[in-house]
Amino acid sequence: MPNRYAYLGPEGTFTEAAMRDLRPDAPDEARIPCDSVASVFDAVRSGAVDGGVVPLENSVEGGVTATIAELINGEPLLITGQTAVPVEFALFARPGTALEDVKRVATHPHALAQCRGWLAQHLPDADTHTVSSTAAAARTVAEPGAPFDAAICAVFAGERYGLRALAGNVGDRSDAATRFIHLSRPGPLPEPTGTDLTSLVAFIADDHPGALIEVLNQFAVRGVNLTRLESRPTGDRLGNYCFCIDAEGHVAEARVGEALMGIRRVCRDVRFLGSYPRSGRTDDLDPPLRPRSTTDADFAEAERWLARIRSGQVD
Amino acid sequence: MPNRYAYLGPEGTFTEAAMRDLRPDAPDEARIPCDSVASVFDAVRSGAVDGGVVPLENSVEGGVTATIAELINGEPLLITGQTAVPVEFALFARPGTALEDVKRVATHPHALAQCRGWLAQHLPDADTHTVSSTAAAARTVAEPGAPFDAAICAVFAGERYGLRALAGNVGDRSDAATRFIHLSRPGPLPEPTGTDLTSLVAFIADDHPGALIEVLNQFAVRGVNLTRLESRPTGDRLGNYCFCIDAEGHVAEARVGEALMGIRRVCRDVRFLGSYPRSGRTDDLDPPLRPRSTTDADFAEAERWLARIRSGQVD
Amino acid sequence: MPNRYAYLGPEGTFTEAAMRDLRPDAPDEARIPCDSVASVFDAVRSGAVDGGVVPLENSVEGGVTATIAELINGEPLLITGQTAVPVEFALFARPGTALEDVKRVATHPHALAQCRGWLAQHLPDADTHTVSSTAAAARTVAEPGAPFDAAICAVFAGERYGLRALAGNVGDRSDAATRFIHLSRPGPLPEPTGTDLTSLVAFIADDHPGALIEVLNQFAVRGVNLTRLESRPTGDRLGNYCFCIDAEGHVAEARVGEALMGIRRVCRDVRFLGSYPRSGRTDDLDPPLRPRSTTDADFAEAERWLARIRSGQVD
Amino acid sequence: MPNRYAYLGPEGTFTEAAMRDLRPDAPDEARIPCDSVASVFDAVRSGAVDGGVVPLENSVEGGVTATIAELINGEPLLITGQTAVPVEFALFARPGTALEDVKRVATHPHALAQCRGWLAQHLPDADTHTVSSTAAAARTVAEPGAPFDAAICAVFAGERYGLRALAGNVGDRSDAATRFIHLSRPGPLPEPTGTDLTSLVAFIADDHPGALIEVLNQFAVRGVNLTRLESRPTGDRLGNYCFCIDAEGHVAEARVGEALMGIRRVCRDVRFLGSYPRSGRTDDLDPPLRPRSTTDADFAEAERWLARIRSGQVD
């Protein structure tokens, strides 16, 4: 039986597009839509599926808060991949509907927010209605007797539900994108690729002006660049914060490993979330800028030097 | 005509509770429920209302992402107040329904996530359904012929819609809370109270390992503590980040003013979001810890000293 | 009566050369040699002279420790100028003496240390004797019946005392130099030139791992580069330290002024030592690298912005 | 044959007192006075002696600059011990001389500077003369037909040369002290004692505002406190600096070892100068404050945790 993967559905979501990006070889029947982020996590934890894909950041589908809450507080899973999907919206309707017929438009609230300019210009008189996802909007519009004339959704969602595009690129920002992550049960990490990310949650030991700088310095002194940083209430109460951090590099690298040990020492707790390739398709990315003297070879050289001076060989 | 205030509705949301906290004297008819965070912002911007309340952080109603997006990218508004509302869930049903009759429970997805433990123990066989807010769940359950038997919602939402509590405190964390902010059109800032917060968005000039530390140091060297820090894609594209920052103190204070000027100099752009009391009820908060030598008097003394040495008076 | 200037003598020291550099128009009789650094300070303090020149750093004459001690603990004077003098040594003897006649060489201990290579090669059998300055060595050699055959000293010292050069450039390092400072009684500071230095002594408030970093960050966040940093016992007891700091820029500049105010706030005490041109001849220096956004115009723009946001003008 | 030790002479210097402190069991004939700091270094390097003692900091004998220059630029030696000697001055004269007979006082320039207050009060009319060390002053006064009536020197120097004390504690600061170091040829380091210091010279890779902070952060993030920091011209030319650093802890400790490796990576060059007990008599010192989570056990725990997460064990 092939591996099975859960994702935040329904069919036609951007998350499904990310899943195709991350697991291109999985057959259709191996991709299981779930109705919430929590359900995806649970399906992976229980072993019902072998992996799962959920949105992490800037999603137009909602779900980011839910994803981060599960990563921080839920039973631990590992992030084993990530990808970014361009967010392009189109206006879809049932075949036979013309643009001038559109009186009621359905979409997700975030999508609506991102398409306001286009709507004000081209459909100034249309009513807008929000539903739980852009894919759900497309699905609803496709149903006979639907209360909406058109959906703002992704092209693949419109096509999936047999709709016809009335307009493409109706979003006000042409280069929006959403990041998605692939989850696995604890086990061997993906091999380093040279363009990896490492994710973790740092629980600050006490609340003082320099606590966060102290954590960031643990990365900075080892030349590790951060790509995402977000403070979050720990769930205990407002005012107790943890920091969700994405850093460049793989925990198998000396610089990242040493930085994580430093954070482990100065923090109340650290949750390691995984090291994984920066994209499902790593070949289309420039290698990240790497500060000098941060390669494993640099660390190994310094270690040999330390062994020499510890034995008193200074000449 | 009294001042009017918009909030994220429907009636019975935690946001309405926050509104009552922040504007306790506003009569019922002055509180206008809106169906989205964006609608609240727009109502304030257009002048249709005099102020608005939306959730900012850890909301169980959704909406945080939307709030932050509006604050960062929308036409500027000022935050002029904030409050935190404890998040306590109860199970409500129509009068006459007993706990053992409950087969279908409606609530918001985040609320569902926070009540799983209780549900697994007390209603292991009930189906759960998610709707757009906990208040909407209560309203739907109250309707004749509702497809759900019970709602997980706030006590005030259940009571608002004429339901009866079957169980209180059904959340798995007893001390969850949500922060809400009050928005106003640009104008005079609230007076300093001694327990204020200042919010801003910093757009980093370029992406290098030390860029964020550079910004944080602008606060640290003036003894300004941060209470929230969140990196956000700027909306241009993934990889371009800005930082949403809440800092202790009021921009009218010397230490905060100087820190903001420093950030203004080193950043590509800074958006000031407001200085406002830490709570609608400031009297129940301990004063924040203030590092030594950061009062306005300390800054004034240093300024007098600078004037002296600039004129060569060193003895 | 022309202004009079004290310097660390006797005639022919490198300090006299620095004096000629810093006060080129002073006639010979206006330059007063003193027999110790302390005497120069005292002559300035008492008003006996209008200014004084002493070595500050890397001196081959000795005296750096004495200079710094006077700057830190003595009655305050202002540094109003500085210059660097190349340290070139030559071997001088009385007329008629040949190199092969030289059996006993006199010089200052530091000069001896810097000329060992040359001596080992060219005068391997000569005895070396140390005296209080290289100028004193020259003067002594010039005396009838001197116990030494030759002096290692500066060219101008050898010539001053009527000696003849047996060899030039006898130092092992061809680019050694010494920095000298010009002292004045408290009064108007030298005007900013664009290539200035500012000197101060910072007395750390308490001894903890981050105390010095805290001080350095006060400079760093305002883009002020340091050119010298030296920890010194305060004189109270070993273990109580202060930091002697030279920073680029003039206290009249906004960035320097603000940095000094920050240090004033976080330190137990600060002694301002002066702002002065980096050299007596400023035209032969490249302008220092200046981090972006650190001009007075940048500070003024940030101040205008602060005034706007404090009045609530954010749009 | 017993071990032999060189020190900065002549007999009666404070350096000899330090030598007795550091090598209390060495018989008199094993202590070899040298006439310069460089001679002490050379005697150790050549193997003529087994160790040497020189002043490092705040010396009233001169010599600090020379010591540091040898440590930075000379053929490498290891610091294997240090001690601090209280600097107490007394006025000594030949037997039969009364205080009122004293017209000419000899001493070292730094000692003169430290005894001015006493001289102004008790011998306002005496001439003062400076010689190469306080011990030399005592020796000279002791000679028949000496040109001086009294010497300001240490008690042990006065007694050594058969003089009689006219007054004790003539220094203006009662708690002055000088630090001395013991030098050895490269070889096994002294064992850690729990109150150790580690000395090194860091050659900054390039000159930018943050370079020094970068180095200091390498210590700070590992909780290593600095006790001395001094910028020094490298000897190449003015403007090229290195930093002489004394840090708490022994290089055999994980925190110090890792900090040194970090500095090795970010600096152009690092010269390790040794790890050694903070005093010759370690039992009279309070243990240094140690930031939390910096013991070897803390480092070992973090290393075990890293091994676990690298193998994907996160639950």
pLDDT of residue D283: 44
Which residue out of D54, D61, D65 would a mutagenesis test of the C interface target, given it has the greatest number of C Cβ atoms within 10 Å?
A: D65
**Quick check: C222 and B262 CB within 8 A?**
yes
CATH number of the domain enclosing C16: 3.40.190.10
Q: How far is C263 from B298, CA to CA, in rounded Å?
A: 12
* pLDDT of B155: 93
What is the rounded distance in angstroms from the CA atom of residue C69 to the CA atom of residue C235? 9
Q: In what order do the strands lie in the sheet with D226-233?
A: C269-277, C196-203, C241-248, C226-233, D226-233, D241-248, D196-203, D269-277
Mind listing the pLDDT tens digit for each residue in C184-193?
Answer: 999 999 999 9
- Residue A61 domain-assigned (yes or no): yes
Out of D178, D207, D231, the one facing C230 most closely (by C-beta) is D231
Q: What is the dihedral of CA B218, B220, B225, B230, to 10 degrees?
A: 50
For residue C114, pLDDT beyond 50 = yes
Residues B11 and B109 in one domain: no
For position B137, what pLDDT does the model report? 93
- Contact in structure between A105 and A138 (CB atoms under 8 Å): no
pLDDT (average), residues B153-166: 94
Query: Among B137, B167, B197, which residue terminates a domain?
Result: B167
- pLDDT of res. B230: 83
pLDDT value at C250 more than 60: yes
Range(s) of the domain holding residue A142 = 90-167
Residue C206 is predicted with a pLDDT of 64
Asked whether residue A267 is assigned to any structural domain, the reply reads yes
Q: What is the pTM for the complete model shown?
A: 0.85
B197: closest CA of chain C, how far (Å): 14
Name all chains with 3 or more CB-CB pairs below 8 Å to chain B: A, C
CA distance C216 to C204: 11
Q: Using CA atoms, how far apart are residues B218 and B200, in angstroms rounded to an integer?
A: 13
Work out the percent of chain B whose per-residue pLDDT is above 90: 58
**pLDDT class for D131, splitting at 50, 70, 90?**
confident
Say whether both B72 and B58 belong to one domain. Answer: yes
Segments in D201-253 forming alpha helices (H): 211-220
Is the predicted pLDDT of residue D191 greater than 70, yes or no? yes
C171-223 pLDDT, tens digit per residue, is 987 667 788 999 999 999 999 999 999 999 999 876 555 678 889 999 989 99
Banded pLDDT at B287 (limits 50, 70, 90): low
User: Do residues C82 and C108 share a domain?
Assistant: no
pLDDT at residue B308, as a whole number: 93
- Confidence (pLDDT) at C283: 44
Going by their DSSP bridges, the two strands C241-248 and C196-203 should be labelled as: antiparallel
Our CA-based measurement puts residue D223 at a distance from the nearest CA of chain C, in whole angstroms, of 7
What DSSP designation does D29 have? G
B306 vs C252: CB contact, 8 Å cut-off?
A: no
Q: Are residues D302 and D212 in the same domain?
A: yes
Query: Of A186-190, B124-128, D138-142, which range is least confident?
Result: B124-128
Under 8 Å between Cβ of A25 and A34: no
Q: Which of B31-35, D8-12, D43-47, D282-286 has the highest mean pLDDT?
A: D43-47
Considering CB atoms only, which of D186, D301, D314 is closest to A312? D186
3-state SS, one letter per residue, for B193-246 = CCCEEEEEEEECCCCCCCHHHHHHHHHHCCCCCEEEEEEEECCCCCCCEEEEEE
D44 vs D183: CA distance, rounded Å:
7
Report yes or no: C196 and C278 within 8 Å, Cβ to Cβ.
Answer: yes
3-state SS class at C245: strand
> For D279-300, how does the pLDDT look when each residue is reduced to its tens digit (9 = 90+)?
755 444 455 666 778 899 999 9
Q: How many CB atoms are located within 10 Å of the residue C159 CB?
A: 16
Low-confidence ranges of chain A (pLDDT < 50): 59-60, 62, 282-284
d(C-alpha A215, C-alpha C209), whole Å? 16
Tell me the HSE value of B111 on the side-chain side, using a 13 A CA sphere: 30
Average pLDDT over residues B103-108: 91
- B10: cis peptide before it, omega within 30°? yes
The residue-averaged pLDDT of D213-222 equals: 90
A62 and A114 in a single domain? The answer is no
Nearest alpha-carbon partner for C186 in A90, B309, D250, D161: B309
Mean pLDDT of all residues in chain C?
87
Residue of D52, D120, D61 whose CA lies nearest to D87: D61
As to burial, measured by CB atoms within 10 angstroms (0-12 exposed, 13-18 middle, 19+ buried), residue D194 is middle
* Average pLDDT of span C12-38: 92
Quick check: B265 and C306 CB within 8 A?
Answer: no
Q: Which is nearest to A189 in space by CA: D311, C182, C237, D216?
A: D311
C34 and C178 share a domain?
Answer: yes
The answer to whether residues D292 and D183 belong to one domain is no
For residue C154, what pLDDT is reported?
92
Q: Residue B40 forms beta bridges with which residues? A: none
What is the pLDDT confidence band of residue D90, given thresholds at 50, 70 and 90?
Answer: very high
Cβ–Cβ below 8 Å for D57 and C210: no
Specify burial of residue C120 (Cβ count, 10 A radius: 0-12, 13-18, 19+): exposed
Mean pLDDT over D145-161 rounds to 93
B97/B213: higher pLDDT: B97
CA distance D15 to D34: 11
| Chain-chain contact of D309 with A251 (C-beta, under 8 angstroms) | yes
CATH number of the structural domain spanning residue D255: 3.30.70.260
Per-residue model confidence (pLDDT) at position C62: 46
Nearest-5° angle of CA D153, CA D154, CA D157? 90
Verify that D252 and D146 share a domain, yes or no.
no
Residue B9 and residue B15 in contact, taking contact as beta carbons nearer than 8 Å? yes
Q: Count the domains in chain B.
A: 3
- Please indicate, yes or no, whether residues B97 and B221 belong to a single structural domain of this protein: no
pLDDT of residue A279: 76
Task: Give the chain A residue nearest B116 (alpha carbons).
Answer: A38
Task: Provide, as residue numbers in chain C, all residues whose Cβ is less than 8 Å from the Cβ of B221.
Answer: 214, 217-218, 221, 262, 266
Q: Is the pLDDT of residue C123 over 80?
A: yes
Which chain C positions have a beta carbon within 8 Å of D235's beta carbon? 173, 176
Mean pLDDT value across residues C103-110? 87
What 3-state class would DSSP assign to C18?
A: helix
Residues D200 and D136 placed together within one structural domain of the fold: no
| Residue B91 and residue B70 in contact, taking contact as beta carbons nearer than 8 Å | no
Closest CA to D57 of D7, D3, D12, D15: D15
Q: Which of C289-298, D100-109, D213-222 has the lowest mean pLDDT?
A: C289-298
**pLDDT at residue D169 above 80?**
yes
Measured between its terminal Cα atoms, the distance across chain C in Å is: 64
Residue D132: band (very low, low, confident or very high) from pLDDT cuts 50, 70, 90: confident
User: Which domain-ending residue is among A154, A187, A220?
Assistant: A187
Consecutive H or E run containing D155: helix D155-160
* Last residue of one domain, picked from the residues D152, D187, D222: D187
Q: Which pLDDT tens digit goes with each residue over B48-80?
A: 999 999 998 864 554 577 788 889 888 999 999
Please indicate, yes or no, whether residues C83 and C100 belong to a single structural domain of this protein.
Answer: no
Top residue of B65, B221, B236 to mutate, by most chain A CBs within 10 Å, is: B65
Distance from CA of B311 to the nearest CA of A (A): 35
Residues of B in contact with A208 (CB under 8 A): 225, 289
Which residues sit opposite C8 in a β-bridge? C34
Q: Identify the residue among D42, D119, D204, D231 best suited for mutation to test binding to C, counting C beta carbons within 10 A and taking the highest.
A: D231
Q: How high is the pLDDT of residue C279?
A: 76
Tens of pLDDT, residue by residue over D235-266, are: 555 556 788 999 999 999 999 999 999 999 98
Number of residues assigned to chain B: 315
Rounded to the nearest angstrom, the minimum Cα separation between D56 and chain C is: 12
Give SS3 for A192.
Answer: coil
By C-alpha distance, which of C287, C223, C217, C278 is closest to C256? Answer: C223
Residues contacting B58, CB < 8 A, separation 6+ = A232, A233, A238, B64, B176, B177, B178, B179
Mark D54-86 as b/e (b = at least 16 C-beta within 10 Å): bbbbbbbbbbbbbbbbbbbbeebbbbbbbbbbe
| Cα D298 from Cα A270, distance rounded (Å) | 14
Based on the domain organization, do C180 and C198 belong to the same domain? no
Cβ neighbours for D157, distance < 8 A, ≥ 6 positions apart: D11, D12, D13, D92, D134, D135, D138, D151
pLDDT digits (tens, 9 = 90+) for B219-278: 989 999 888 888 877 655 555 678 899 999 999 999 999 999 999 998 989 999 999 998
Is the model's pLDDT at D315 over the cut of 90? no
